[in-house]
Amino acid sequence: MRIKLRRYSYLLGLCLCGCMTTRREASDPKPAPAPTQMEQVTGIGGVFIKARDPKAMAAWYRDHLGIQTRGGYADFAWREKDHPEQMGRTVWSLFPTNTPYFAASPAPFMINYRVANLDRMIDQLRRSGIKVEKVEEYDYGRFTWITDPENNRIELWEPREKK
């Protein structure tokens, strides 16, 4: 009998605490602030690799992995999962080891990440104290660059909407 009473008093206590908590929250005049949506990367737009001999490396990738380059890059086309009528692309390219495109990064690669809203991403990064380079605009989208804590250069790309 004591065990049953303890169990019921425990459950009653939980119910009362829950009701009191609900009542306190309901009487609180301040509404909870809406959570802030963090801007996020939506995918990989490109992979760029430094090579001592980009032409020889392109031939190796072509002969062994079937990656066909044109104009110094390969373009992998795909469809958006949630919008299969929309085409996307991921660029793969080789650069000479002394390319200025990677800036001062000692890394042998650079990844281009797609973002939905470059301006919001830039604001978010700057609020976190991250240095953001200039923004460049082209007919296929807008770009900026940042560097991670290990000095890897990152390219951010907001694709231009197709009309």
| Domains defined for the chain, CATH in brackets | 41-159 (3.10.180.10)
- Give the pLDDT score at 161: 79
pTM of the model: 0.74
- Give the pLDDT score at 104: 81
- Give the pLDDT score at 22: 38
- Give the pLDDT score at 81: 85
- Give the pLDDT score at 162: 66
In 24-133 the beta strands, taken as DSSP E runs, fall at 41-51, 73-79, 87-96, 109-115
- Give the pLDDT score at 130: 97
- Give the pLDDT score at 3: 45
91 to each of 77, 98, 113, 136, how far by Cα in Å? 9, 20, 11, 18
- Give the pLDDT score at 80: 84
Contacts of 159 (CB under 8 A, 6+ apart): 45, 88, 114, 140, 141
- Give the pLDDT score at 35: 56
- Give the pLDDT score at 57: 95
In the predicted model, residues of the chain with pLDDT beneath 70 are 1-35, 162-163
